[in-house]
Amino acid sequence: MSDVLANRVAVITGANQGFGKAIAHAYIKAGSNLMLCARDESKLAEVQKELQSLCKTGQRVEAIRADVSKREDVDQLFSAALKAFPKIHILVNNAGVYGPKGPIEDVNWEEWVQAIEVNLLGSILTAKTLLPHFRKHQYGKIIQLSGGGATAPLPFISAYAASKAGIVRFMETLAEEVKRDGIDVNSIAPGALNTRLLDEVLEAGPEKVGKAFYERSIKQKTEGGAPLERGAELSVYLASAASDGITGKLISAVWDPWENFPQHLDDLQKTDIYTLRRIVPKDRGQSWGDL
């Protein structure tokens, strides 16, 4: 994947640690220029300095503090990006939080709403703000980070689950709106990652997140979880020209054969493969339920 993003510009949110930082590293290795943002300005500055040391001739890494849930911050982010670079090609919506943990009747409502604002509304806002630029140039890549909450119930972490399911369906919807504008929109599930979100679950304990999820998290911590690099590789692929025409999908970095997607482009474009859908009885081998 060397230099597949040469001369491209990517905006990455939540880029100061964890998976966002891993994506930024992979993009630099692939030749991209970067505009990074996060809420923690000091950590962001450290990552920017680290990435600048890896840049090849002509590559640049810019950074600005921004909270994606605040419209003024998002406006400033893209104003700074377009001032630094003439054209943006890629948006990676990585910024996200777990939100409060515990039964819905016990959690702090303001914290629950804030998680929705960051994970769901913040991702929609960044896409909405950048879309006119992508439409103008008839090209763009939007890559949305999803998670386990998008495809299965996640008891006791309901704000995260609801926001991730919501943002995947929004991205599927957006993909249909912009598919004639040369804009590809996809969500990725990077796998169970050992990042600060896992540490939050372990710190919260089984009383708040549930015994089953806590025990799975303990096992994940011990075994190492999914490699950050695999999800970052998928992010590079979806940002590159190799994935042109693949849109409206939720793709697993770990389980799906995404390297071979170009061989199945027609199937991917004409079917609902890799999308959220309702399960009916016949999907589970049952003979009842059809009229």
pLDDT at 252: 92
Handedness of CA 40, 87, 143, 75 (dihedral sign): positive
Q: How far is CA 40 from the centre of its chain?
A: 19
Whether 211 is in a domain gets the answer no
- Res 119 pLDDT > 90: yes
The stretch 188-198 carries a mean pLDDT of 70
pLDDT at 215: 67
- Res 225 pLDDT > 70: no
Distance CA 173, CA 219 (A): 36
Whether 200 is in a domain gets the answer no
The stretch 22-46 carries a mean pLDDT of 97
Give the mean pLDDT of the chain: 91
Using pLDDT thresholds of 50, 70 and 90, give the confidence band for residue 263. very high
pLDDT at 191: 67
- Res 221 pLDDT > 70: no
97-123 in b/e form (b: 16+ CB < 10 A) is bbbbbbeeeebeeeebebbbbbbbbbb
The stretch 92-114 carries a mean pLDDT of 95
Q: Which one is predicted more confidently, 14 or 254?
A: 14
The stretch 176-205 carries a mean pLDDT of 81
Handedness of CA 68, 72, 74, 80 (dihedral sign): negative
pLDDT at 79: 98
- Res 207 pLDDT > 80: no
The stretch 129-147 carries a mean pLDDT of 96
Whether 181 is in a domain gets the answer yes
Q: Provide the CB-side half-sphere exposure for 61 (13 A, CA).
A: 25
Whether 203 is in a domain gets the answer no
Q: How far is CA 54 from the centre of its chain?
A: 23
Whether 125 is in a domain gets the answer yes
CATH code of the domain covering residue 109: 3.40.50.720
Structural domain containing residue 122:
9-191+226-284
Residue 238 CB partners (closer than 8 Å, separation 6+): 141, 143, 184, 186, 188, 246, 251
Whether 220 is in a domain gets the answer no
Say whether 98 is catalytic.
Answer: no
The stretch 137-142 carries a mean pLDDT of 98
Q: Per residue in 44-80, pLDDT tens? A: 999 999 999 999 999 999 999 999 999 999 999 999 9
Between helices 41-52 and 18-29, what is the axis angle to 10°? 20
Task: Point out the catalytic residue in the list 160, 214, 237, 274.
Answer: 160
Using pLDDT thresholds of 50, 70 and 90, give the confidence band for residue 195. low
Whether 218 is in a domain gets the answer no
- Res 194 pLDDT > 60: no
Domain count across the chain? 1
Whether 128 is in a domain gets the answer yes
Q: Per residue in 12-25, pLDDT tens? A: 999 999 899 999 99
Q: Per residue in 269-289, pLDDT tens? A: 999 999 999 889 999 999 998
Q: How far is CA 26 from the centre of its chain?
A: 15
Q: How far is CA 255 from the centre of its chain?
A: 17
